């Protein structure tokens, strides 16, 4: 995934209305009119959000020429999640090492008798 | 047994990371402020090393971390200690060299001990909602800032939607 594409995905996801639109499209495709209703927004306002989502590759238009319904594209979202996982994995991996280090320090404390000035001993 | 790591976004300006450790908090505290200990665990995914880990552990003192990835690429960050209360809390400013967090962030680490186990809670506070939104657009921390749990909810609903 290119950084530009990721930028577009996250910028698109940063807005609560656009996240709500995506959640709505998750339950099936919908036309602009159908989307404008529940969000109590004008069609031009909804169209603006849809354009951002489309540019990010998060939604596409179906072939139906009359309604031009939008539908969700799952792939960029999955890529964005993967990116979020990177952060989580950084901490997961680090904390697992910390678990091992703490075990080692606990064992060392037990063996030091009496406990020395733990501060600067090496 | 691995403890569960929790990442949440309680407000527009915060990211909170929580993890329990099977050790008293004096030890966890040591591991967060002594360079010889920090560089042994704060490494991220396998293959990364920490060639620079400098810590001047006093209020107003600076720290500097540099990581090197398996492909040789480097990532650096640093900041100033704002508050130190052993073994209870550390408050420090953070700024990545590439500034992908939209300005300086403030990280507060709280250590709470119960029955010889320590709950570590790290809260990362952005300077403004704009700063956090800016961080959404660049770099690794967009992972932190995008509202991990909200997005997870969204994804769950999308997977359900696809399944029908």
Strands ordered across the beta sheet of B14-21: B6-8, B14-21, B117-126, B105-114, B89-96, B74-85, B62-68, B49-55
Domains of chain A: 3-73 (1.10.10.10)
| Domain range for B127 | 6-163
Provide the pLDDT for residue B146: 35
What's residue A37's pLDDT? 81
Q: Which residues contact A7 (CB under 8 A, 6 or more apart)?
A: B137, B138
Determine the average pLDDT of the residues in A64-91. Answer: 73
Say yes or no for a CB contact (<8 Å) between B158 and A22: yes
* Chain B residues 50-89 within an 8 A CB cutoff of chain A: none
SS3 B143: helix
B60 DSSP 8-state letter? T
Confirm whether B1 is domain-assigned. no
pTM, entire model? 0.63
User: Could you tell me how far CA B74 lies from the centroid of its own chain?
Assistant: 18
Nearest CA in chain B to A106: B23
- A110 inside 8 A of chain B by CB: no
ipTM: 0.74
What total of structural domains would you count in chain B?
1
CATH number at residue B93: 3.30.530.20
User: What is the H or E stretch that residue B28 is in?
Assistant: helix B25-33
Whether B136 and chain A come into contact, CB under 8 Å, resolves to: yes
More confident residue, B16 or B118: B118
pLDDT band for A28, please (50, 70, 90 cuts).
Answer: confident
Cross-chain Cβ contact A91/B144 below 8 Å: no
Domain for residue B48, yes or no? yes
**pLDDT tens digits, B30-58:** 999 999 999 889 887 778 889 999 999 99
pLDDT per residue as tens digits for the range A79-105:
666 655 666 777 888 999 999 999 999
């Amino acid at each position: 995934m290119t950084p530009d594409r990721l930028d577009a995905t996250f910028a698109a996801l940063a807005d609560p209305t656009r996240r709500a639109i995506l959640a709505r499209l998750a339950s099936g495709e919908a036309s602009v009119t159908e989307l404008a209703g529940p969000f109590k927004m004008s069609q031009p306002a909804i169209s603006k959000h849809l354009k951002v989502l489309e540019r990010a590759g998060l939604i596409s238009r179906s072939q139906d020429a009359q309604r031009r319904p939008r539908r969700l594209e799952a792939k960029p979202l999955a890529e964005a999640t993967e990116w979020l996982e990177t952060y989580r994995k950084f901490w997961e991996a680090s904390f697992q090492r910390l678990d091992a280090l703490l075990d080692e320090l606990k064992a060392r404390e037990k063996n030091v008798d009496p406990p020395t000035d733990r501060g600067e001993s090496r | 047994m691995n403890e569960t790591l929790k990442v949440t976004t309680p407000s527009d300006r915060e990211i909170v990371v929580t993890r329990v450790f099977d050790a008293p908090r004096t030890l966890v505290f040591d591991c967060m402020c002594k360079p010889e200990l920090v560089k042994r665990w704060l490494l991220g995914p396998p293959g990364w090393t920490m060639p620079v880990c400098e810590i001047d552990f006093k209020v107003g003192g600076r720290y500097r971390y540099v990581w090197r990835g398996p492909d040789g690429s480097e990532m650096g960050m640093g900041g100033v200690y704002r508050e130190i209360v052993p073994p209870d809390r550390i408050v420090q400013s953070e700024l990545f060299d590439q500034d992908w967090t939209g300005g300086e962030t403030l990280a507060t680490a709280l250590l709470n001990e119960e029955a010889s186990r320590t709950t570590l809670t790290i809260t990362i506070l952005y300077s403004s909602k704009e700063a956090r939104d800016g961080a959404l657009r660049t770099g690794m921390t967009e992972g932190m800032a995008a509202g991990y749990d909200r997005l997870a909810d969204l994804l769950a609903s999308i997977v359900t939607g696809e399944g029908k």
